[in-house]
């Protein structure tokens, strides 16, 4: 058994399979500030959601991506909207959706269960889909969307497009049947799909060592004849670089890639979970590897941007969130009878079961 | 054209839809080079190519998952379950993804998941089931089961053109049954989803049924005619959403009703139909709504066991005679 998985501590220095980034110097300033913006937007948005939860305004669960922002943002940033690229995030990949153009107001309205939310109060979380902007919401049985994303890129290929799909899966959900079926299907069909495996040490409370006997998630890819990479999931540029390689390969007909991003979930599974099963020293270790703090440090230390420029991004995030939160909180709840309809396309079948009484 | 079998009718229906609409494609286990376990897609790969006739791994979840994703992107996939029993392997993606997508996220999933159902061929517990009750409790799915070649061709076309996910059940006992061969029109036609057919008119007792049991009901109706009992036979054709109007109209006429199906009894279509009849036509009933169904066991293999399991003409006669006394 891998020591790092047992302990929950993975170190970049000791991992021989790690892909190290080489584009740190080549990503231009605007791109790097973009990464910073989307990571910070994600974290600040989730901070606000947590406050809303404490105020009792969010009725359902709240799932945060704290600590995993770099994986979501860096990977999605490698996609190209000009080709109609499309992704399906997990609940901890809000940043990926933001990169594709999802708006904080949509997330606020969704969690607050407002009529104006993208799913009109009918679903929670960030289960939000917009095919035009290029994101497909997940569903709670994880693994399912890997199979669905196969079809998305299969269709695009049949339609003569060069679209690449990206789908996210946690270490836990790589144990599902659908994951194995879909990864194999993608490989057999040589589909233009990039699978981002988020190795965040725990699936709810169960450590990765109880999910699998292999050392790395990426080892799963061998079984499907699929190339894989391991990347520091807390380094947005490293993730971007790895994803860009995979996206290019997929677009050129090279088939699917599995990218394992080593990261850590700094909160419990959901807001109710105090994460008592995670040793304090593990949390401390990963706190020192915080993807946003470290990125900010990199921007300054490597003289990519000035403190003033970074502060301007911080202010932009806050202004955006102020406006969107205010908007969402002013929206009404749906009317009770909005529960009816849209079960079927044809009007005749609307509210099929409710009509019978 | 000579009369055709039910299997040939479905084959023609899919073939014509693929000729008509380039977004229609088929995928499943052995559907390509081999032409399908029942040879329903024989010749398809030669005509339409491997890109539109996809041989897949043995992965029902991945098959239906891919169908869902492709449908979201504007395609019209037709996924085959080699035997409909195996649809249980993709229960999650059907019930949680396909069925809920329009309601949750405003994105329709126009897929057809089709395959052979039903017993009577000594297929045992895993090649004989009728699975409609598994899905009856899932709003968002449609379910269709034709009993005639004409309906099969018209309904498979309607299912492919439908904007919602349609589960299409094909009773394997009817696939090549020469007795039910039919002429079908040369020109394009559909049979609308959601409409029942009256197979035989009668004023005394209504039998509501579908699939291969339509023929069991017809045989029973003939026998009862000799006893002076007129039985009306309604073929639902669509199981979800079923044709309430046709059922209620018939019940109002006869005041006595038997629900006949080959699936097992508890929690089945018959229970749901009974409830609807109670709610909407109680005043018209002269007797209890009766169920004639398979017994509540897995489908057994040995011929005497399977015969005991399946509803027989005699079971319908017994129910009809007891109902006639009210």
- Return the CATH number of B6-180, one of 2.40.50.100, 1.20.1050.10, 3.90.1150.10, 3.40.50.970: 3.40.50.970
Mean pLDDT (whole number) for A152-170: 98
Residue A128 with chain B: CB contacts under 8 Å = 105
Q: What phi and psi values does residue B10 have, to the nearest 5 degrees?
A: -70, -40
Domain ranges of chain A: 28-352
Of B66, B97, B142, the CB nearest to A154: B66
Domain boundaries, chain B: 6-180, 197-324
pLDDT confidence band for A8 (50 / 70 / 90): low
B230-261 pLDDT, tens digit each = 999 999 999 999 999 999 999 999 999 999 99
A346-350 long-range contacts, Cβ below 8 Å, gap at least 24?
A: A346/B163, A346/B164, A348/B194, A349/B194, A349/B241
| A1 pLDDT higher than 50 | no
pLDDT in tens, B46-99: 999 999 999 999 999 999 999 999 999 999 999 999 999 999 999 999 999 999
Nearest chain A alpha carbon to B100: A343
- Structure token digits, residue B7: 């299997």
Whether chain B has a CB inside 8 Å of the CB on A288: the answer is no
Task: Determine the residue of chain B that is closest to A129 in CA distance.
Answer: B105
Say if B67 is an interface residue toward chain A (CB within 8 Å).
Answer: yes
Asked if the domains B6-180 and B197-324 are classified in one and the same CATH topology, the answer is yes
Instruction: List C-alpha distances in Å: B66 to A49, B55, B77, B93, B116.
Output: 34, 13, 9, 10, 21
SS3 A89: coil
Q: Which two tokens stand for residue A317?
A: 């995030």
Q: Which of A344, A347, A353 would best serve as a mutation to test chain B binding (most B beta carbons within 10 A)?
A: A344
What's the sign of the alpha-carbon dihedral B167, B173, B176, B182? negative
Q: Which of residues 306-345 of A touch B (CB under 8 A)?
A: 342-345
How far away is chain A from the Cα of B142, in angstroms, using its nearest Cα?
Answer: 9
Give yes or no: B122 in active site. Answer: no
DSSP track, A204-225:
TTEEGGGT-SSS-TTHHHHTTT
8 Å CB contact of B105 and A178: no
CA distances from B319 to B209, B290, B307, B312 (A): 14, 7, 18, 11
| Percentage of chain B lying above the pLDDT 70 cut | 100
CA distances from A344 to A152, A331, A351, B141, B264 (A): 21, 27, 8, 8, 27
A232 Cβ neighbours under 8 A, 6+ residues apart: A12, A18, A238, A239, A261, A262
pLDDT of residue A346: 79
Nearest CA in chain B to A127: B105
Could you tell me the end-to-end alpha-carbon distance of chain A, in angstroms, rounded to an integer?
A: 59
Q: Predicted confidence band at A347 (pLDDT cuts at 50, 70, 90)?
A: low
Whole-angstrom distance, CA of residue A235 vs CA of residue A36 = 11
Distance CA A259, CA A221 (A): 9
The encoded tokens of residue A180 equal: 């194995």
pLDDT digits (tens, 9 = 90+) for B117-153: 999 999 999 999 999 999 999 999 999 999 999 999 9
Interface contact flag, A148 B72, Cβ < 8 Å: yes
Alpha carbon B132 to its chain centroid, in Å, reads 8
Which ipTM was obtained for this model? 0.96
CATH of B197-324, one of 3.40.228.10, 3.50.50.60, 3.40.50.920, 3.40.920.10: 3.40.50.920
Count Cβ atoms below 10 Å from residue B302 Cβ, excluding itself.
10
Q: Do A185 and B162 touch (CB under 8 A)?
A: no
CB contact under 8 A, B106 and A129: yes
Continuous segment of H or E residues that includes residue B233: strand B231-235
Contact A343 B279 (CB under 8 A): no
CB pairs under 8 A between A and B: 146
> Which residue(s) pair with B171 in the sheet?
B117
Average pLDDT over residues A249-275: 93
Cβ distance A155 to B74 less than 8 Å, yes or no, reads yes
CATH no. for A28-352:
3.40.50.970
- Give, in degrees to the nearest 5, the angle at Cα B34 between B33 and B38: 145
Distance set, CA B208 to CA A177, B193, B202, B266 (Å): 39, 17, 12, 17
Instruction: Check: CB of residue A256 under 8 Å from CB of residue A194.
Output: yes
**Using CB atoms within 10 A of its CB, is residue B96 exposed (0-12), middle (13-18) or buried (19+)?**
middle
Residue of B62, B92, B140 lying closest to A141 (CB–CB): B92
Nearest-5° angle of CA B163, CA B164, CA B165?
135
Please provide the distance, in angstroms rounded to a whole number, between the alpha carbons at the two ends of chain B: 48
Please, which pLDDT band fits residue B202 given cuts at 50, 70 and 90? very high
Averaged pLDDT for residues A55-70: 90
Helix (H) or strand (E) holding B246: helix B244-254
Catalytic, out of B122, B127, B171, B261: B127
CA dihedral sign, ordered A131, A136, A139, A142: positive
pTM equals: 0.95
């Amino acid at each position: 058994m891998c020591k790092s998985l047992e302990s929950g501590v993975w170190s970049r220095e000791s991992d021989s399979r790690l892909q190290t980034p080489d584009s740190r110097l080549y990503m231009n300033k605007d791109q790097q500030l973009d990464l910073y913006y989307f990571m910070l937007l994600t974290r600040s948005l989730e901070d606000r959601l947590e406050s809303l939860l404490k105020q009792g305004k969010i009725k359902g669960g709240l799932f945060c991506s704290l600590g995993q922002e770099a994986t979501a943002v860096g990977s999605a940033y490698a996609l190209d909207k000009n080709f109609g690229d499309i992704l399906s995030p997990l609940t901890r990949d809000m940043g990926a959706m933001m990169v594709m153009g999802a708006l904080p107001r949509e997330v606020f309205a969704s969690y607050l269960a407002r009529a104006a939310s993208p799913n009109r109060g009918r679903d929670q979380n960030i289960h939000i889909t917009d095919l035009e902007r290029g994101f497909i919401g997940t569903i709670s049985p994880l693994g399912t969307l890997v199979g669905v994303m196969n079809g998305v890129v299969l269709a695009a290929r049949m339609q003569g497009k060069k679209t690449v799909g990206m789908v996210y899966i946690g270490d836990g959900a790589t144990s599902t049947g659908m994951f194995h079926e879909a990864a194999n299907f993608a490989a057999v069909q040589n589909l233009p799909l990039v699978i981002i495996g988020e190795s965040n040490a725990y699936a709810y409370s169960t450590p990765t060592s109880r999910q699998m006997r292999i050392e790395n998630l990426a080892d799963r890819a061998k079984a499907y004849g699929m190339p894989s990479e391991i990347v520091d999931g807390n380094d947005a540029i490293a993730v971007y670089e790895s994803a860009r390689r995979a996206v290019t390969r997929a677009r050129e007909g090279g088939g699917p890639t599995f990218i394992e991003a080593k990261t850590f979930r700094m909160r419990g599974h959901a807001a109710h979970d105090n994460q008592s099963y995670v040793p304090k020293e593990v949390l401390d270790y990963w706190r020192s590897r915080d993807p946003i703090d470290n990125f900010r440090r990199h921007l300054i230390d490597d003289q990519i941007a000035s403190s003033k420029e970074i502060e301007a991004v911080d202010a932009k995030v806050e202004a955006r969130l102020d406006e969107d939160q205010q908007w969402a909180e002013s929206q009404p709840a749906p009317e009770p009878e909005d529960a009816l309809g849209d079960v079927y396309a044809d009007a005749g079948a609307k509210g099929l079961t409710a009509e019978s009484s | 054209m000579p009369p055709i079998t039910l299997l040939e009718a479905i084959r023609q229906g899919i073939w014509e839809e693929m000729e008509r609409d380039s977004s229609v494609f088929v995928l499943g286990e052995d559907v390509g080079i081999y032409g399908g376990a029942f040879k329903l897609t024989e010749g398809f790969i030669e005509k339409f190519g491997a890109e539109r006739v996809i041989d897949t791994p043995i992965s029902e979840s991945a098959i239906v998952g891919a169908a869902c994703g492709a449908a979201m992107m504007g395609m019209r996939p037709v996924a085959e379950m080699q035997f409909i029993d195996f649809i249980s392997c993709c229960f999650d993606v059907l019930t949680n993804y396909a069925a809920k997508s329009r309601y949750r996220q405003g994105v329709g999933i126009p897929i057809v998941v089709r395959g052979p159902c039903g017993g009577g061929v000594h297929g045992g517990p895993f090649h004989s089931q009728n699975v409609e009750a598994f899905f009856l409790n899932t709003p968002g799915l449609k379910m269709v089961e034709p009993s005639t070649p004409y309906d099969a061709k018209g309904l498979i076309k309607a299912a492919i053109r439908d904007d919602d996910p349609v589960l299409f059940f094909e009773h394997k006992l009817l696939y090549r049954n020469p007795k039910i061969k039919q002429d079908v029109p040369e020109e394009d036609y559909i049979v609308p989803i959601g409409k029942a057919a009256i197979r035989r008119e009668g004023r005394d007792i209504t039998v509501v049924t579908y699939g291969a049991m339509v023929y069991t009901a017809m045989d029973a109706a003939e026998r009862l005619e000799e006893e002076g009992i007129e039985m009306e036979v309604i073929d639902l054709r669509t199981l979800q959403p079923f044709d309430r109007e046709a059922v209620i109209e018939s019940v109002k006429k006869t005041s006595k009703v038997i629900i006949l199906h080959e699936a097992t009894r508890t929690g089945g279509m018959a229970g749901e139909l009974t409830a609807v009849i109670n709610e909407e036509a109680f005043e018209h009933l002269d007797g209890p709504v009766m169920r004639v169904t398979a017994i509540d066991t897995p489908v057994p293999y040995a011929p005497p066991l399977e015969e005991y399991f399946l509803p027989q003409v005699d079971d319908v006669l017994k129910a009809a005679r007891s109902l006639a006394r009210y």
